[in-house]
Amino acid sequence: HIFSWFWTFTEILISTGILIFVSKKENPTISSRQIFLIVTLLLAVQATKLALASTISPLSMIIPPALIISQGMGSITALAWVSIASFIWPDPGVAINNNLFFILLFFSSVVSILGGKIRSRAQLLQLSIFVPIGSFLSQWILIGKDKTSLINNQDFVLANENIFSDSLLLAIVMLFTILFIPIFESIFGLLTKARLLELADKEKPLIRRLSLEAPGTFGHTL
């Protein structure tokens, strides 16, 4: 029992250290508040695994935090976070179904990569719609059809309802995540591409005045 506790504790330290190292490599000026955010999100996901792993889709646990991290700290940090949150301590994101684990890694990687490139809130909204739809279709193809060969049609209907519920929950959680991203920006000092574009809006009085009175400085500011 002591050895198991020590191994888990060591795994926590190593995985957290790797995550902090990767985040500092991608963002040399990363603040302690932002490091606290990614570690807290990791802890929250692990706690959710232990408490609700049998009742909640792993996609809803992993993908929304990956979107926040990719927006505020970049795709590489988000991918590192996804890898650690999915594969290790205290349990893998999906312990039973290999197809679901593949779907989880694929869509969380897509969100991590695209989230680091998205430049507007509208694109985030599109992502929050297409990812749940894609996950639903992927689960229906890779998991639902597998179940038809093993169980009867009635169970298959119930399985499809569960897949739909999981995808709907993912869509809802992603929408709430998008709503709360500005709050995360404010609390943790995240500077997303969407926020930069908002700051560079030429309709803002200070920006408009700068463009008229000091066009050279205005150009450098943008």
Give per-residue pLDDT as tens, 102-160: 888 999 999 999 988 887 888 888 898 999 999 988 888 887 754 443 334 433 333 44
Quick one: pLDDT at residue 41?
A: 92
Q: Is the pLDDT higher at 126 or at 99? A: 126
Q: pLDDT (tens digit, 9 = 90+) per residue, 148-203? A: 433 344 333 334 457 777 888 889 999 999 888 888 888 888 888 777 777 777 77
Q: Which two tokens stand for residue 80?
A: 């590192």
Q: Which two tokens stand for residue 40?
A: 């807290």
The residue with tokens 């639902």 is: 144
pTM: 0.78
Q: pLDDT (tens digit, 9 = 90+) per residue, 34-61? A: 999 999 998 888 888 878 766 777 888 8
Q: Which two tokens stand for residue 108?
A: 């969380």
CB atoms within 10 A of CB 207: 16
Q: Which residues contact 21 (CB under 8 A, 6 or more apart)?
A: none
Confidence of residue 94 (pLDDT cuts 50, 70, 90): low
Q: Are 49 and 85 in contact (CB under 8 A)?
A: no
Q: Are 114 and 131 in contact (CB under 8 A)?
A: no
Task: Give me the mean pLDDT over the 72-88 stretch.
Answer: 89
Q: What angle, rounded to 10 degrees, do the helices at 58-73 and 121-139 form?
A: 150
Quick one: pLDDT at residue 201?
A: 75
